[in-house]
Structure 1
Amino acid sequence: MSLLLPGPSGTTRRYEPRADPLALAPGPPARSRTVFAAAHVVADPRADLSPGAPAAVDWDATLAFRRHLWSHGLGVAEAMDTAQRGMGLDWPTAAELIRRSALEAAAVGGRIACGAGTDQLGTDQLGSGGLAEVRAAYEDQLAHVEGAGAQPILMASRALAAAARDAEDYLAVYGHLLRQASAPVILHWLGPMFDPALDGYWGSSDLDAATDTFLDVIAAHPDKVDGVKVSLLDARREVELRRRLPEGVRCYTGDDFHYPELIAGDEQSFSHALLGVFDPLGPLAAGAVRLLDEGDPDAFRAALDPTVALARHLFEPPTRFYKTGVVFLAWLAGHQTHFTMVGGLQSARSLPHLARAYELADGLGLFPDPGRAESRMRSFLTVYGVAQ
């Protein structure tokens, strides 16, 4: 049966859903690249919450989704912006998410890295306590992640962006944290398209100057930096950056627009991956990267290039609301029983946007049960008044 899908201009069109999903079997981690999927959280739809209340999480469904990613050989990047850090997921709930996910990773032998930031500082406190308060907040979260047995990802901090006066302040704060870290961490540079409050991070809105400061932090502590995650949606800049990294420091692409070419690499270097778009693409992406293990970059590109249209759609401006499409696709794919998000973020994308996300994902064969996805999409459209 066909679906009547709404378009951006107010028109509708008939779409014939795909009947055959891709055959995507579980498999081991890739050998040639380290690949993390930044995972979303599943909200508890039955929680009776008022606006501004702490997040309510369906822990069983949230952990089940992580087991799904691990079963395909992917690492899980936990409590990152894909999990709505700073957009509905408060620090106490994020801390519990880190603890539970790290225990689950240990039980199944899955790789996990977790975000450590400063979001226990309320938005009304940003910058008010100065660098000392920012350092203390980072220290608390770093200790929590390490105590849980996970690899830390030092996330970009809104509070640091507000408190820092210049590049020297970034060098001081990050140097202090890296000296304290018990093992190598991942540094995360999140661009303002993902969080406008991070504009001017590393002490300058000039990206060349910011890159120099970022590299200075790494050069001062190369033994404490496993790698860097770069989320600037600028492939050229990422390639230039990874060529300047010290020996042994990985570049984890966070570019959800250009990931196939960046992971494939060139004659000089390549990127590993830590991507939000690998939440919905997990099994397909994992299988594609294993083709690089076999020395077949053409087959890798043939498998992954067709997914870029979906990624660019999900991450279209305002980019920070990509999480809505990610969770919508998880519902259609059967990873959760509802389309509800913490903080009510399910309302952040339009009906035409979500309809197009369904069409693109279905065309790729991402839904394990296309009939279930079609049925859920039909009911969703009906609720929105698009008669079928």
Structure 2
Amino acid sequence: MTAVDTSIELPAAGGGWRTVELAAPRRWEPHPGPYRSRVAFAAAHVVGDPWGENVPGAPAVVDWDSTLEFRRHLFSYGLGVAEAMDTAQRNMGLDWPAVQELVRRSAEQAHEHGARIAAGAGTDHRAELATVDDVLAAYTEQVEHVEGTGAQVILMASRQLAAVAAGPDDYLRVYSELLRQVREPVILHWLGEAFDPQLAGYWGSSDVDAATTTFVQLVEAHADKVDGVKVSLLSAEHEVGLRARLPEGVRLYTGDDFHYPELIRGDGTHHSDALLGAFAAIAPAASAALAALDEGDLERYDAEFAPTLPLSRKVFEAPTFYYKTGIAFLSWLCGHQPGFTMVGGLQSARSVVHLSEVFALANAARLFPDPEAAAARMRSLLSVAGAVR
């Protein structure tokens, strides 16, 4: 009989090794229906096909079976899917033909499961746009595609608009025209430069207060066409202030992967809903926390989220835009995909020491359905990396 390993040796930062005892797996309760107290989306990643030429600069080759199975996993925990967002490597390997197919396939599956789905519409299918009118036309094309699938539209921040806009008026012009055109209320996405340095100065100013004033002006003028706003600036203080300024009925979907438990919990007057890449990694724990919130059990809510926060902060540490690597890595460790392969070769974006800490924190949060299988996969990665004793 083969002995069962109950621990794993992991390389530690600065050299040396640390022994991590494998935590017992936890049985997480499924929750296929939505939550009463909050709306919750997980921004899902895509799985690269290990047989595809998923190297930097090459067209994306997606493992569709694993990608769609992962979305069913999220649906089983009551989470909607925010599709084709930055978590899915928009502007970092996922090209427009793959985006179109991804949104179409995911929307069909969501409708079959009665699950909520929203999908990103941007301008990334056109590399060079010279004018604000060009940006508006590009946005319109993607909005029409998303609407045609039946998914809710998420108006993503545009690198091209950031490059050509002369000031706040250009942002207001583009977004106002789009909001007049859309059929149903959308989610506005303000992605900070920590996630994408090319979005610095979005809304026409590098001053966050001035940019926020422009953003709120837009929402107030078109509140009937705005379901909510997703803000990813990693500032809890800014988010608390912004959500208090939003018109009644407009949600704030937190994109703050560093402070989501307190923001979703709320302050007794206002709260945030969720649209988080972190939820793709911690779906069972997020489900348990939201179920506790539905029951008014704040102590259990806090306890369910507490061990996930150090993990999320590690996955999203600077350079934050490489967090997708941690999301895909955890998916692999949990058995949701056959290999640690990403489009654009992005699996190489984090060090083996970083990934070892991600493993340890996920183990502490008891997120591995099969800890021994996760450890075996981790050991194989360490061996390939040459991190062996």
TM-score relative to the length of structure 1: 0.97
Cα distance in structure 2, aligned partners of 1:167 and 1:203: 4
Q: Is 1:292 aligned to 2:293, yes or no?
A: yes
1:268 Cα deviation (Å)? 1.3
- Which residue in the other structure is 1:22 paired with? 26
Q: 1:375 to 1:154 in 2, by over 3 A?
A: same
> 2:54·2:343 contact (CA, 8 Å) conserved in 1?
no
Which stretches of structure 1, 4 residues or longer, exceed 6 Å deviation after superposition?
Answer: none
Give 2:44's match in structure 1, choosing from 18, 25, 39: 39
- Which residue in the other structure is 2:284 paired with? 283
Cα distance in structure 2, aligned partners of 1:308 and 1:13: 21
- Which residue in the other structure is 2:69 paired with? 64
1:193 Cα deviation (Å)? 0.1
Written as runs of structure 1 = structure 2, the 5 A alignment for 1:305-384 is 305-384=306-385
Task: Name the count of aligned residue pairs.
Answer: 383
1:290 Cα deviation (Å)? 1.3
> 1:37·1:69 contact (CA, 8 Å) conserved in 2?
yes
- Which residue in the other structure is 2:246 paired with? 245
Cα distance in structure 2, aligned partners of 1:61 and 1:329: 14
1:51 Cα deviation (Å)? 4.1
- Which residue in the other structure is 1:169 paired with? 170
1:378 Cα deviation (Å)? 1.2
1:49 Cα deviation (Å)? 5.2
Q: Deviations over 1:14-73 (max 9, x none)?
A: 22222x212112112111000000000000010145642210000011000000100111
Q: 1:270 to 1:51 in 2, by over 3 A?
A: closer
- Which residue in the other structure is 1:271 paired with? 272
Q: Deviations over 1:247-306 (max 9, x none)?
A: 000000000000000000012100000000001101110121111111112211111022
- Which residue in the other structure is 2:234 paired with? 233
- Which residue in the other structure is 2:116 paired with? 111
Q: 1:50 to 1:5 in 2, by over 3 A?
A: closer
Q: 1:49 to 1:307 in 2, by over 3 A?
A: closer
Cα distance in structure 1, aligned partners of 2:19 and 2:268: 45
- Which residue in the other structure is 2:11 paired with? 6
Q: Deviations over 1:236-256 (max 9, x none)?
A: 100000000000000000000
Cα distance in structure 1, aligned partners of 2:307 and 2:365: 8
Q: Deviations over 1:315-338 (max 9, x none)?
A: 100000000011001000000010
> 2:48·2:62 contact (CA, 8 Å) conserved in 1?
yes
Cα distance in structure 2, aligned partners of 1:50 and 1:83: 16
Q: State the one-letter code of the partner of 2:28.
A: L
Q: 1:141 to 1:21 in 2, by over 3 A?
A: same
Give 2:85's match in structure 1, choosing from 80, 89, 101: 80
Cα distance in structure 2, aligned partners of 1:386 and 1:131: 50
In structure 1, runs of 5+ residues without a counterpart are: none
> 2:47·2:63 contact (CA, 8 Å) conserved in 1?
yes
> 2:307·2:364 contact (CA, 8 Å) conserved in 1?
no
Cα distance in structure 2, aligned partners of 1:22 and 1:82: 26
Cα distance in structure 2, aligned partners of 1:281 and 1:197: 28
